[in-house]
Amino acid sequence: MDNELLNMELLSGPLYKNALKQLDLACTAMKLDPNVAARLKYPKRALIVSVPVRMDDKSIKVFEGYRVQHSLTLGPGKGGVRYHPSVTLSETAALAMLMTLKCSLFGLPLGGAKGGVRCNPNQMSRQEKQNLTRRYTSEISNIIGPDKDIPAPDIGTDEQTMAWMMDTYSQEIGFAVPGVVTGKPLSIGGSLGRTDSTGQGVAYTIMSAAKHLNMTLDKDTTVIVQGYGKVGYSAARKMDKIGCKIIAVSDENGGIYNPKGLDIEAIHKHLTAKKNLAGFPEAQPVTNTELLELKCDILIPAAVESQITEKNAGKLKCKILAEGANSPTTLEADPILFDKGIFVIPDILANAGGVTVSYFEWVQGLQKFFWDEKEVHNRLWNIMETTFEKVLAVHKEYKVNMRTAALISSLQHLSKAMLVRGFFP
């Protein structure tokens, strides 16, 4: 695909357009060198692959897969692999850009990347998903590796997916290469604390925000979680452990609400048995739209992109909005939330616990020396708290919202690295 066609494809997606506009706002506010800004608007490399898979009925079905590397200035690429029907090149590129900014914000020696296959994993058998994963890994194997680009789990993928990816890559290399992916099972080099890390990080930033706002987190603090998957469940469990009251949660099919509070472990058992939230006995049903507009102290959107828009932002009734998902809030919604006095913890800050512990896993794998779970949590808390304070300082200095402040802080670090490395050729 030539550059003109690639640019047209990228700009066709709302998520990429939204990311560019947010980048432009930050670049303008900090007066970033326009040559640096121009280089960050497009990915370094975008690979599109056909992924033929033998299905259970013996037919061959061809899926479309992607791996995008946005920037490798700070180190090898880092980013998840998503299996979802809505995966596109434009979406993947936007998420790769966010990963670049996220890694830079947290001072990680990693660049930004993202991958995905357009499919519906919920309609595939285990064997079909394994076949898909192994073929996809083989197709992108020339641009991934522990010193090139390190995939991780995302929507529709998990530690088993990463185990298949690691094994496929290792078979092609000829020996075991645990560092090619993170988010692996413990038995093949995974890290303690990785499974809950993203949700845990969301909770840590909420704790920092509450301290800044002189807000007490206790049994009277109400929390709502949209998207009760890996991130949402982990965040809810941590907030419940702190002592807050979870009053509503939802998945893609709808949600449940009880103003007196929900039993997190009972919900987990219900989901394990029933596979969805419907019919949970101690709550009333709500739609995902209604859930976002319920009154609460803390709202955690942990589902998919573009859930909070200019149409519903004015109806939100929370004090803190902590973005567990990537890009759950559109650019047009930000000023509305700011005017309402809602304190937004942006995605590249709130949900960076996952990539941070992925970095820990990568480091442990390279050293062949593994930490206990307490050390992982302590290191995660320290880096999340330090980064929150850094963004808060920029927020006060530039008098911008927290999203723009996070982007400015990220770009300050990244632009210095780009300028000191110089331009080749």
Active site (catalytic) residues: 114
Closest CA to 330 of 318, 347, 342: 347
Q: Residue 304: CB partners within 8 Å, gap ≥ 6?
A: 86, 155, 227, 325, 328
Through-space distance between the first and last CA atoms of the chain, rounded to whole angstroms: 23
Helix, strand and coil percent figures for the chain, each rounded to 5: 50, 20, 35
Beta-bridge partner residues of 137:
none
Render 51-93 in DSSP notation, one character per residue.
EEEE-TTS-EEEEEEEEEEEE-SSSSEEEEEEEETT--HHHHH
133 exposure class (CB count in 10 Å sphere: 0-12, 13-18, 19+): buried
Q: Which DSSP letter does residue 295 get? A: B
**Under a CB-based contact definition with an 8 Å cutoff, are residues 291 and 250 in contact?**
yes
Pairwise CA distance, residues 224 & 253, whole Å: 16
The structure tokens 């947290």 sit at 106
